[in-house]
Chain A
Amino acid sequence: MITLNKRERLEWQEGLTVQALLERKTFTYPHIVISINGIVIDHDAYAETLIPDEADVRVIHLIAGG
């Protein structure tokens, strides 16, 4: 299992990438910042970055307040 944004528990599977997580959640907003266990992931590396089991994943959408 992984934790998304300190709230949601999601099934983990071997080979889960950041890109696959975004597609699974249909997170299509273009302006986001992603971190795994506190380390920010470069946008260009989403497709090859693996998410480990029990990871603390934050996907922060950078639009707020308006």
Chain B
Amino acid sequence: MTEKIIRHVLAEFAYQAPKIERGYANQTLYVNVATGEIKAKPVSEEMKFKFTGGKGFDLWLLWNAVNDNTKWNSPENEIVISSGPCGGTTQYPGSGKSLVTTISPTTEVITDSNAGGHFGPLLKFSGWDAIEVQGIAERDVVVIVDAIAGKVTVEELPDAPTDTHLLGAWLYDVLAEKPHEKYYIAMVSAGTGADHSLLGCLNFSLYDRKRQDVRYKQAARGGPGTVLRHKRIKALVVRAKPFRGDANHPADPERIARVGADMQHEVATWDPVQNRMRNRGTPYLVGIMSDYDLLPVNNFKFGSHPKAHDINGAYWETRLTQGLPDGCWYGCTIACAHAVDGFELQTGPYKGQRVIVDGPEYETIGAVGSTCGIFDADAILELNFYCDTYGIDTISYGNTIGFLMECYEAGILDLEKTGGLELTFGNAAASLEILHQVAQGEGLGRLAGLGIRKAKAYLIEHFEADPQFVQDIGMENKGMEYSMYMGKESLAQQGGYALTNKGPQHDEAWLIFMDQVNNQLPTFEDKAEALHYFPMWRTWFGLCGFCKLPWNDVVDPKNSKSAEPAKIPHHVQNYVDIFAAVTGREIDINDIIAMSERVYNLQRVFNIRLGKGLREHDYPPYRGVGPVTEEEYESRQERYDKQLREWLGLDPDAMTLQEKMAAHRKYRTERYEHLMDAVYERRGWTRNGVPTVEKLKALGIGFPEVLAVVEKHLQVEG
């Protein structure tokens, strides 16, 4: 760049990056953007053993940083980011994830979210296993971890844009003294949408060497971007030194290479005839979900739509740029992180610009697309781009718009209340207009930016909405909007969504095929076991820096002959090997579950400490359980009537529609209560969902301050 860049350094901390040993830098970085305090914190052997890394480190640092009364916008709340000991591995696919944890503005408890991109691994290779950022700055700042200069700074950069696609291009130019240095820069940012809404996401950057441009992956759930911008942070940046493929300095690099080579071969062999992730990415799911009545349509009223095949995997294979490495993290042959290049924006402040649209992912297509009744690929791309650059979670945004569309069609909203927007299902122009309003903090965008839970309260208070109706149709639990799968016919998935720590994101368990289609979980005990094992297994990915996709989105068919095909034992063994080879710590699957249980239970106790995390917070909206409206019942009348006969021994021909709906509601809600009991028991919790003292002690996290939280509740329960 030729012009003079103004950089006011507000705080500076000199350091020398330690050598990474067996996946750990053995220190974490603390930055307070209010006071300018920057310091290193040592990582003990006990911390590594008990919390592993990633979300485990995040939670432990956050637990010690806040108090019982901390809210999402309190100065002591933190953004904490960590990859994990295996993060940065380049020989095994999907080994570059970062985990971010904070107190959420929408759920008001702990939220965690993961993303690809290069930030977490480059942070570690720059000498830090995690970064925790506390305080609220007086003016907009950028935090820069500069391993080349050997310093961490908090800087004011007055010329820095806010929206991510502009900020990334600008910052990379500012910080790279030579073009190739861009390869080793990564940043975390949000945008103007996060300034004005509670749905803020974080964009994790990567520098795409082929495109010679910056791209982004999103950690979006629970509003971490809102927390970042509330702290007046425009970006967290790491400027790393060039590194080699063995930068983790693993204990046994040959073992990693052997396991990695086997897996890379498996991906190359089977992905082309299975999900075609390397060509389609996660959008391969759109048509399939519609075929199985699992694709949310019109605010989760319906599960399929004829137009779904206009935006299915085959379509996206023609639309996504082919033949470029995805760059999400080095060495990942799954390569699901696709993009549409040269997309010309049709609306908003960047109208006419040709941009890279990262994705769209399946979840985004479902959220800003089908659940809003939108099946127009260009509209989905435009919504995707603007959500990302504004720093808004596509899932929460789309789901909230779908909810508001149903409110409009039900008469709760009208043209006057929407500012003249005809907010019917399928109106993509209206959704885009509201999205731009969110970024400006104007009009209906202010309501949409609250997310569904707080929007419901507003509609009840100001527009006389029926509380029961909006509670039934608002697809949120704990304050988080549902991700994009219909769970009405899968009791296990209803639990997979609502019996979670952070809220209804499918990253704990996706059990629909096992339960609804395969009938492999026929009893409450079977479902409870699945709702113990899979959330623990998947939690572990987030402790280590792994992506979930290589576990089960491409699998050698020989797996079907294994003892437990659902668990994919030969991939589990791969992870056992990789973890042991990186850290030098030999483990087995029981150790993996125990490692996750410690962190999972700590998160549950953390939620209780913050005033939630109990049974009363684990109920789904009825739209996620059964038919709310007559229209829904009638759309699947044959199925529902058959269920009345077979499940309840009733004669639907002798019942009114209202009686049939009431019978379903009673039966389905009672089964969910039984599921809660079974799951809590399996997890070692009380009927109120509180981890017992014995459980916490057995896990090795019976610290006095942890036990003190649960003991108050256990005394009440008796």
Chain A interfacial positions (CB closer than 8 Å to B): 5-7, 26-31, 33, 40, 58-66
Contacts and interface: CB of A to CB of B under 8 A. Distances in A.
B274 A31 contact: yes
A29 to B, nearest CB: 5
B436 to A, nearest CB: 35
A13 B530 CA distance: 36
A52 to B, nearest CB: 21
A58 to B, nearest CB: 8
Interface string B558-597: 0110000111000000000000000000000000000000
Contacts of A40: 560
B275 A31 contact: yes
Contacts of B557: 31, 33
B560 A60 contact: yes
A64 B566 contact: yes
Q: Name the prevailing secondary structure of the A interface residues.
A: loop
B350 interface: no
B517 A65 contact: no
A65 B530 contact: yes
A30 B519 contact: no
A60 B552 contact: no
Contact of A30 (B275, B509, B517, B551): B275
B287 A28 contact: yes
Contacts of B534: 64-66
Contact of A28 (B291, B509, B513, B553): B291
| Most A Cβ at <10 Å: residue of B513, B518, B555 | B518
B511 interface: yes
Nearest to B564: A64
Given A5-B519, A6-B519, A33-B560, A66 B291 contact: no
A27 B513 CA distance: 11
Contacts of A29: 288, 291-292, 513
B560 A63 contact: no
Interface in B491-532: 506-507, 509-511, 513-514, 517-520, 522, 530
Given A28-B288, A31-B555, A66-B534, A61 B518 contact: yes
Interface residues of B, number: 35
B548 A63 contact: no
B275 to A, nearest CB: 7
12 contacts: A6-B522, A26-B292, A27-B292, A30-B273, A60-B560, A60-B565, A62-B555, A62-B559, A62-B565, A64-B566, A66-B507, A66-B551
A64 B552 contact: yes
Interface string B255-274: 00000000000000000011
B565 A65 contact: no
Contacts of A26: 291-292
A34 to B, nearest CB: 10
B537 A65 contact: yes
A38 B318 CA distance: 40
Contacts of B520: 60, 64
Contacts of B518: 5, 58-61
A29 B509 CA distance: 19
| Most A Cβ at <10 Å: residue of B514, B533, B567 | B514
A58 B519 CA distance: 9
Contacts of B604: none
Contacts of A64: 510-511, 513-514, 520, 534, 552, 565-567
A20 to B, nearest CB: 16
B633 to A, nearest CB: 20
A6 B509 CA distance: 23
B232 interface: no
A40 B534 CA distance: 27
Nearest to A6: B519
A63 B519 CA distance: 13
Contacts of B273: 30
A5 B517 contact: yes
Contacts of A30: 273-275
Given A6-B519, A30-B275, A31-B274, A63 B513 contact: yes
A7 B519 CA distance: 7
B517 A66 contact: no
B229 interface: no
A62 to B, nearest CB: 6
B538 interface: yes
A33 B390 CA distance: 44
| Most B Cβ at <10 Å: residue of A31, A40, A58 | A31
Contact of A66 (B292, B519, B548): B548
B113 to A, nearest CB: 16
Contacts of B566: 64-65
B509 A66 contact: yes
A40 B557 CA distance: 12
Given A26-B292, A27-B291, A60-B518, 10 more contacts: A29-B288, A31-B274, A60-B565, A63-B510, A64-B534, A65-B510, A65-B511, A66-B510, A66-B534, A66-B538
A3 B680 CA distance: 33
Contact of B513 (A6, A7, A58, A61): A61
Contact of B552 (A6, A33, A66): A66
A40 B561 CA distance: 10
A22 to B, nearest CB: 11
A5 B519 CA distance: 6
Contacts of B287: 28
A62 B513 CA distance: 8
Those 8 A-B pairs whose CB atoms lie nearest each other, nearest first: A64-B566, A65-B534, A61-B513, A5-B519, A26-B291, A33-B560, A28-B291, A7-B519
B646 to A, nearest CB: 9
A19 to B, nearest CB: 15
Interface in B533-559: 533-534, 537-538, 548, 551-553, 555, 557, 559
Contact of B509 (A7, A33, A62, A65): A65
Nearest to A43: B557
Contacts of A31: 274-275, 555, 557
A38 to B, nearest CB: 13
A27 B518 CA distance: 11
A39 to B, nearest CB: 13
A60 B511 CA distance: 13
A65 B291 contact: no
A62 B519 CA distance: 12
